Every structure is written in C-alpha cells, then in structure tokens.
Chain A
Amino acid sequence: MPKPKSGLTGAHFMNGDVACAEGAIAAGCRFFAGYPITPATEIAEHLSQRMPEFGGIYVQMEDEIASLAAVIGASYSGLKAMTATSGPGFSLMQENIGLAVMTEAPCVIVDVMRGGPSTGQPTMPGQQDVMQAKWGSHGDYGIIALTPSSVQEMFDLTVEAFNLSEAYRVPALLMGDEIVGHMWEKVVIPPGDKIRIVNRKKPTGPREEYLPFKPDDDLVPPMACFGEGYRFHATGLTHNEHGYPQTSSSEVQTKLVRRLCDKIQKNADKIVRVEEVMLEDADIVVVAYGIVARAALSAIRKAREKGIKAGLLRLITLWPFPEEQVARAAKSAKAIVVPEMNCGQMVREVERAAKETPVVFLSKLGEEPHTPLEILEVIRRNK
C-alpha cells in the first residue's frame, strides 16, 4: 500500500500545466493516462514524475481514445482519474466522453486549447473547443466545464473539477488555453487540510439490493466500484437502474437521458461560478472567460478611468451555462461585449440569455489574445 505523502504547499512560481498537475494531486487524483500533445504535454511530464511519489499511477497510452478509456476504467476501479490533452486529442476523446457520461464515471479531462481546426496552431492559444465541450459527443447529455484565467486557477479549478465530477458522477472538463498552460505565475497552495475535497457517494444498503443506476434525490446514483463485491454491470447502451441494456424501450431511454441532462441542469445553481466586477451600475458589460477575461478586466478599469460605466462578468463555469447571471447583468446594461478567441461560440449563449440587450462580438484568432485597448475601443463605441 502506498503511503500518504503531503502535497506541495505555500507560494511557488510555476507554469499553468504544472499547477494543473499539482492541483490534481491535491484533489486526490491517483491515476493519469495521457498521450503527448502540445501545449498540454507538461501536465503529463510533471505527473509522470510526481504520481509515483504519492503512490499514484502514470501511464502513457497509445492515443487519446485509449487514454480516456483507461481513465474511465481506473475510475470504476475506485481511483480519482484524469487525462489532459489539446484540441486534436479532445476530438478523439469525444467517443469516450459519451461513455463516461452514460456510465456516470467521475473523471477530469483537461483541454489546454490551441488554435484549430485540425492540427491548427499547436503553440498558439485558442478558445475554439468551448462548444465542442458541450456538444462534442453524440446524443444529449449534461456536462461540466470550467475555464481558468490564471496559473492559480489552473490549480484551484482542477481541484474544483474533481470535486464536481465526484459529486455529480460526470466528466468535468477544464478548458484552459495555451497561455494559461505555459505562462509562469505565482501560485499559493493551501495546506492539504484546508483544501475542500469531495468524494463520490458510496452505496450504503445491502449488496444484493444495490441498483447501480438508481439515483438519489439529487439525481446522482451512489457508486460501487469493481472488486467491492457488488457484482454490477455497466454499459454504454441505454440501461435501466440495474445497469442492464434496454435498447428498445422508449420509457427507459427517456428516463435515463433526461436524468443525465437534469442532474447537471437542475443542480446548476450549485455548480455555476462567475466573477462579477463593477457590474452594479454597469452600462457596458463585458462577458469574457479564460485568458481573454484578464484583458477584459484591464479594459473595464481603463473605461472607468475615462468615466464609462463598464463592468466584467467573468465566466468561470462555461457549462452548465451561467444563464441567470448573464440575464441579470444584461437587464440593466445598454450593451454587452463578448471578446473570444474563436469565430463566435459562447457569444451565441450570451445572446440567448441577454434577450433584448444588444450583444457585440469581438473575435480574435492567432498568436495573441485581445489587448485591453482593443476591448476598450469596443466598449467606447457602444457606450
């Protein structure tokens, strides 16, 4: 049995990929399977060194499909498990994201986004996978996706992703980008006992009465693991509460798929996190996330200096979408500005939630995120 080793604490200077890896260890992750890909490789490299120190497992698989399959297997064997990749690998993982959703396997998937489509720009940032995060695998399902804006958040939100994934038995996605992944910043890591850790619910009743997919009131079923004597079955096919395939029943399909969506949507108020800056009296609201939100913060401050009432709504949770928060901010605003490093993805969600309030989209692709001045210019034009 591996002995417990205490994790890193205190202030450190590190890059975002390493912070993510340390966050995983702090969250109790003891299984990592991955495949090298820029700009996420440093997560794998760091964990190949650190995991064994904590008695954990690092395995390099033959591709990203296998990586996520192994992660789901390890999760069913009782370990907290993670993989990390970028766009091309994220595309390959979509198949098994569906399997993790369907079999309700807690796991964390990190996508350090780069420019796409296809091989695209491996060393450049992007925010082009955010819709894929929600809709990438076939069928309907609920999922959780978080976006870090700093190296500190690469640590904090990795922990949070594990907690949410364990609480809701769903894959939790950490949608970073090349800049937060490769940037070096100060990270403060609290002592282990000060870090909030959530573990999956375990079944409590007699083994022979255990129904692996019978949910509690929160719509999440308690989870037994392999080797615990429950002798349960799980399948990617539509299944009843027993876990048995029911491929011709409309009733079972409706009940299962609705619950997979509802367990996220109906718990959205407990999942969603945003940061609100100077929104109380804001005429112009910038809705931004990830690395772009930092330029947006600078832009609204500069706008305030010039007497423009601008505010920032930073989305920390992308999925489930912070609909209420956007709607609230939109109500009293004259215009909403959405800067994104893509051709228009989350802006569609913002538009939907903002209703009548006009939404201005500011797209940027390539090497750099928006500068504060570029965002300020749009704020000024729409004030």
Chain B
Amino acid sequence: MVQETVPVVVHPFSKYLRADMMPHIWCQGCGNGVLLNCFVHALDELQTDLDKLVVVSGIGCIGRAAGYTNADSFHTTHGRALAFATGVKLANPELEVVVISGDGDLFAIGGNHFIHAARRNIGIKVLCANNLNYGMTGGQQGPTTPLESVTTTSPYGNIEHPFNLVHLAAASGATYVARWTSLHVRRLTQSIKKMLQKEGFCFVEMLSPCPEIYGRYNKMRSGLEMMSWFKSASVVENFSDPSKADITPERIVVGDFVDIEKLSYEKMLHEKISKINEMAIEGVS
C-alpha cells in the first residue's frame, strides 16, 4: 500500500496567534474576530517585532483578544487596562503597548483612565470594539447603547445618552482618532497601521456587530442584519467634526477624525529624567 499524507498547511498568520488558546469564546456573527484579524494584518504588514509587543486588555468579550495574541499579554481587572498599560509603557518605552478592549470596559468603569491617558498623551494604542452593550454578561445597557435600544437592563428602551467615542477621544487629547465598522476591514487595517506608527495616544474604534445579544433585542438577529445596518448607515467623512459624529440608526460617520503631532508623555518624561539624572551624577543639583 502506498500511503500519502496530506501536508499540513500552516496558516501564514498563525505565528501571531496562540493556537493553544483556541477555540475562541466569541459568538457566531460577532465582530471581534474581524478586529483581531485586522490587528494581526497590521502587525504583519509592519513586520512588528512580537518580542517587543505587549497587548493589554480589560474585561469583556474582546478582553480575550490579549490572550489570543502571541506576544506578551496581560488581562487586567475590569476597566484598568489603560492604567496598567501606563505603567508598562513608562517603565519600558521601547515596548509597543496596545490596549484592546470594549466600550463598557474603556468608557464606563475605565472612563476616568481613558480621559487621563489621552490627556497625558502616553504612547498607548487603543483598539476598541464597540458592540453597543455589555456582551459578556448577557447584554446590559452601557455607555454607548443608543437611545431607545432595548437591552436586558433597559427593557423599556434606553433613556441614557450614549458617548460619542471619537468626540471624547479627540476632546481628551488623542493624537490619532478613527472609527470604522467591522465591514471596513481594509480601512480599519490601514488605521491600525497608522496608529502603530504614530507617537502618543491613539484611538481606533470599531463598531462590532453583536447579533446574539444586542441584535437579538433590537431587530437585528443575525450578523448579516447588523452588517447591513453598518453598510446602509455608514458615511465615510475623513476629518469631519467628531462632535457631530454621534452614532444614530440612520447615520454612522466613519473615517479618520484626528491626526496630529504631539510629543508623547513618555518621551517628555524620559528626556527630563535623563537631564536630571545627568545633573545629579555630576553633582550640579
């Protein structure tokens, strides 16, 4: 008998992911896989040194993305990814520090850390999967839930005004701000690439379909239906006013919103430290 073996084809991106963590926990139709895919594509196109990459996440569905990435990774307490990442980046500015987290984690429980990390302009790159609700805990109303959306904790329709994340990031001082949906894979990948090459605090939001949880209560039961909404409502308007980019059922403004140059906190800090250290050694101070 002649035995032939089908050769094992290694996926070209498998080196970026921890295969032994699979299967992932995400639902069918979820956009988190798209976000991770775009992130990995960006890493590949930039030939990022995985030994110098630290991926930090908070708690929530997308929080597992840190563990799925084959780099140094840390899954913090709820909302604290940015505060933790601040320590990482300051202690070793050579590291590329990326925070991948959700809207609830970054903007409700972690909201204070977000505005202050952006204000300091620390060189952390934030990738936010915005699924408009708390998915991991079964679909509660959150800081991005649209008005009148039905969730498990807003059964009569949400009456809290949602955050417009790109406006918040821009107002807080981010040097790069962009928004895409999971439909815009190429442009999202380009934005992640741009963010990874920039200095200072950067923020990229990706609207992520959550058909199993959010969609179920809001007449979009399948991933496809949520994607259809993204498709019909998305308007690409680069460098438009982020304050006018509220997400509504009729209109999702996507594109780059901010792209400015500003010295990063870690650069300013370490320059100062070197100078003071030098003076202290020479006995000037």
Residues of A participating in the B interface, judged by any CB pair closer than 8 Å = 2-3, 5, 31, 33, 51-57, 59, 61-63, 65-67, 69-79, 81, 95-96, 98-99, 103, 226-237, 242, 244-245
Contact = CB atoms under 8 A, between A and B. Distances in A.
A230 B87 CA distance: 19
B274 A226 contact: no
B262 interface: no
Nearest to A75: B87
A76 B88 contact: yes
A74 B71 contact: no
Chain A at the B interface: mostly helix, strand, loop or mixed?
mixed
17 contacts: A54-B280, A57-B90, A57-B91, A62-B113, A71-B87, A77-B92, A77-B95, A79-B91, A81-B87, A96-B77, A226-B72, A227-B51, A227-B54, A227-B92, A233-B18, A235-B67, A244-B67
> Which of A5, A61, A65, A73 has its CB near the most chain B CB atoms (within 10 A)?
A73
B73 A78 contact: no
Given A5-B281, A53-B276, A63 B112 contact: yes
Interface residues of B, number: 44
Interface stretch (B38-46, B78-86, B180-188, B224-232): B78-86
A103 B18 CA distance: 20
A365 B98 CA distance: 48
Contacts of A228: 51
A251 B215 CA distance: 37
B67 A233 contact: yes
Contact of A99 (B76, B89, B90): B76
Given A62-B83, A96-B77, A226-B95, 8 more contacts: A61-B86, A61-B116, A70-B90, A72-B87, A73-B83, A76-B88, A78-B92, A245-B67
B251 interface: no
A315 to B, nearest CB: 31
Max chain B Cβ within 10 angstroms of own Cβ: one of A62, A67, A72, A236: A62
B21 interface: yes
Contact of A33 (B76, B87, B92): B87
A9 B272 CA distance: 25
A78 B71 CA distance: 16
A98 to B, nearest CB: 7
Contacts of B72: 226-227, 230-233
Interface in B260-285: 269, 272-274, 276-278, 280-281, 285
A94 to B, nearest CB: 11
Contacts of A232: 72-73
B66 interface: yes
The 4 lowest CB-CB distance pairs between A and B, nearest first, are A73-B87, A70-B87, A77-B91, A69-B83
Contacts of A233: 18, 66-67, 72-75
